[in-house]
Structure 1
């Protein structure tokens, strides 16, 4: 869901409603405080410092009670606040200056307000790198987040407001996006990707039958689908980070494509399969050890311990390999043209020119992941740029092909033909956002 002609005050009102209907025990700031905060960050995002665009994260956190409910067991990588000697007024100028010392991938600025509602910066928060790693599917878990919420500047005039690991809203220039479409989890796009993961599931079925016959494949099928979808999401996130734009086409058809740089890169496919196997190996070894100890045994079989350690180490190494593969492939989208994959995620080349010229008279924008017929909104394909039109033409002429276009501003759109309609999805969810436990089920 999105609202056009939105301003920072609209974002403030939306966030206030969300916070008011949450399970928070912390004080909720007034609407004027939120408006001042979002306006300051919004206008700071349009500035530059030493010719660089502003990238910064702000955390609203009370200096008198920054950690009201610390966990019983504090992990080593948990966040901490480094206080300034004096408070600094939160102004556009000060925020721009401080942004140079606070890379949002590792740090956030601690901000709060006084009794008069005036905002100030009182410190910096470290260890944000683990938060970003979880959001981008590069780690399996993330610790709880400090403060009330985070405001992240991702681009010019673009603010994300995060509540724990839940995305409350995005203000993208003049558009307020309150909900991203989870097309990779439900709906037609999800079905395509799960079907494309068929080879991975076949490999795991054989692997389980041979190496772990006590395990049921059905218990691992959802894991395989999720791993496949996470891999594609990570690739799209890497493409977004280039701010160059790019296109990815997943198709089993080689017609109407002129590939300038042909390759046959299957390392990502192989690495994902190896990773899945080691996940299973590690799970089985851990389960054997835990069941043995739970039964009151005081010692464990040496082979079990060695396998648990070996599989964990191997899993970490393969995770690094996958990360390298994704970075390698994402860089190919910086060349003009489309990155081509077959359904099994084997790259067939990049710099692809899509030559299908027959265009549908209209396309249909889906505001839902499921693309229910009643929800579809007709649109003129000629209103889109060259990159989008070429993808529309190809997916229209070659049913079964899935097209993904990343704009220079980071927007992701998906294209797929369903019967006699070319469907387009936008505002697509790629990061690992999770509904906060502090949120109520219904707002």
Structure 2
């Protein structure tokens, strides 16, 4: 999502207008757009959610999802989610949302809101499962999410509106943010050499077309770095991931590694995942060609499931290393060097630091390093000294910044979006 130019603060009513304006134009073709409540009802829902998120309960601000559907559809067995329906619907209110929010999990469930011509009610709790959350973070490639209006409120002042899996618009700290594809490309030059080395250890499918498996290989590789960073972001404590091209691993004058590990587990897990996926894809392709072997297909699916679980658990553990004071250091070919890393670099003499404001380019505006916090300043100093390094700095409240060097300058991209490249609109 991209922040829209604004001369004044925006409120939920402005977000409602933005959603209604774009609701029918998210996806074209044979896609069926799910129902959306009237503008007045949507404003009511967003305003109540906005206020509920700003009202702490026992010192903690609530975070929650809302799934908004026509009341008549609640009896549909194919609604796309498990519904725990209240025997008697309740009037939508700030107090009601505050009471129900602790019964939900931002990663998997939601307060269910129903609407019809008589008004808006709280209808129950819906279980969305964790697959969509995991897929958006880059931890999965299959997901299930109901075709409905979904509102996510993860902290006070931040609302995101989805149409099923597709982001529509959001309201972040008084600014409207519009939906658009954003693929942060600043990691590309750093991680490409690592990818080229890993490809040498991949099996090559015999039946699947190269454009299919080669495209997936790169997406899956990019998603390793994205999912580690997104998992750190979701943890709530922030952290730093240093990704170094193999030939540019910083030395002891720039970094002090408190906990060196020199682990190949992530690298091995990723290679096994890709190879298991290749075998399974070949089985699917053979089925399409009429050469079915049920026993072989079954074994391939089980092997892929095991490999996927191993990779996900490796990613989650590495992201947890950010809980220690200091950064995580990983190479572009997925070797984990260590964590609890202290950045010792000083800013290179006459270094130019620019903040990138464009969506895809690397043109920026010269800025003062002192405007950033300590985590970002350390990342800038390291990048000024070591070429071939990309630093992903995650603030405690979640936003991600990318820091890298190019042609003698250090570039910083604040508010970087690192989506699963299979779900660019997520």
TM over 0.5: yes
User: Residue 190 and residue 168 in structure 1: after superposition, are their counterparts in 2 closer, same or farther (change >3 A)?
Assistant: farther
What is the aligned partner in structure 2 of residue 259 from structure 1?
257
What is the aligned partner in structure 2 of residue 198 from structure 1?
196
Partners in 2 of 1:270 and 1:57 — Cα distance? 36
What is the aligned partner in structure 1 of residue 236 from structure 2?
243
What is the aligned partner in structure 2 of residue 334 from structure 1?
323
Give 1:141 deviation, angstroms. 2.3
Give 1:213 deviation, angstroms. 5.5
Note if contact 2:128-2:145 (Cα within 8 Å) is conserved in structure 1: no
The one of 298, 306, 316 aligned to 2:305: 316
What is the aligned partner in structure 2 of residue 8 from structure 1?
12
Partners in 2 of 1:28 and 1:219 — Cα distance? 36
Partners in 1 of 2:398 and 2:178 — Cα distance? 17
Give 1:190 deviation, angstroms. 2.9
What is the aligned partner in structure 2 of residue 225 from structure 1?
218
Partners in 1 of 2:412 and 2:58 — Cα distance? 39
Whether 1:42 aligns to 2:32 is no
Note if contact 1:104-1:128 (Cα within 8 Å) is conserved in structure 2: no
Partners in 2 of 1:135 and 1:351 — Cα distance? 27
Give 1:412 deviation, angstroms. 0.4
Partners in 1 of 2:25 and 2:332 — Cα distance? 43
Partners in 1 of 2:288 and 2:38 — Cα distance? 49
What is the aligned partner in structure 2 of residue 391 from structure 1?
379
Q: Once the two structures are superposed, what CA deviation does each residue of 1:366-403 show, in whole Å capped at 9, x if it has no partner?
A: 23343253xx3332221000110010111122121101
Give secondary structure in 1 for the equivalent of 2:146: coil
Q: Once the two structures are superposed, what CA deviation does each residue of 1:92-120 show, in whole Å capped at 9, x if it has no partner?
A: 1110101122223232222134547x532
When normalised by structure 2's length, the TM-score is: 0.87
Partners in 2 of 1:428 and 1:166 — Cα distance? 18
Partners in 2 of 1:106 and 1:78 — Cα distance? 13
Give secondary structure in 2 for the equivalent of 1:249: strand
User: Residue 217 and residue 60 in structure 1: after superposition, are their counterparts in 2 closer, same or farther (change >3 A)?
Assistant: closer
Give secondary structure in 1 for the equivalent of 2:152: strand
User: Residue 201 and residue 27 in structure 1: after superposition, are their counterparts in 2 closer, same or farther (change >3 A)?
Assistant: closer
The within-5 A match list for 1:170-209 is: 170-179=170-179, 182-184=182-184, 187-204=185-202, 207-208=203-204
Gaps of 5+ in 2: none
Between stretches 249-258 and 357-366, larger displacement belongs to 357-366
Partners in 2 of 1:379 and 1:371 — Cα distance? 17
User: Residue 114 and residue 224 in structure 1: after superposition, are their counterparts in 2 closer, same or farther (change >3 A)?
Assistant: closer
Note if contact 2:66-2:151 (Cα within 8 Å) is conserved in structure 1: yes
Give 1:188 deviation, angstroms. 4.0
Superposition RMSD in Å: 2.7
Give 1:143 deviation, angstroms. 3.3
When normalised by structure 1's length, the TM-score is: 0.84
